[in-house]
Amino acid sequence: MEVIMTIAYVIFLGFIGLIGVDIYYIRMHYKSLREDTKNHGRCNDHDIKEIKRLIGELGCLILCLIIFITLLVIKTNFGR
């Protein structure tokens, strides 16, 4: 049981790390988009597409994290 919990903890930290990196890249593209709009008066389509893609990826990561935590709780409460 300890091995399973260690592996689960590592996977959980991996999910948290991926979510953090995703949020960092969203912020980076958003700052670039704001600077382009402020300096040139128009926005960059590439940044908008990248932000949309990253938000979709973030949603998938959060959904996977919720499913993983649910399965882990079921395993610890009802598993042998």
What is the rounded average pLDDT for all residues in the chain?
88
How do residues 7-26 score in pLDDT, each as one tens digit? 888 988 998 999 999 999 99
Residue 80 has pLDDT above 90, yes or no: no
Domain ranges of the chain: 1-17+45-80
Answer whether residue 37 shows pLDDT above 70. yes
Integer Cα distance of 54 and 18 in angstroms: 11
What's residue 16's pLDDT?
Answer: 92
CA distance 14 to 78: 25
| pLDDT bucket at 47, cuts 50 / 70 / 90 | confident
Instruction: Specify the pLDDT at position 58.
Output: 92
Contact residues for 41 (Cβ-Cβ < 8 A; gap 6+):
none
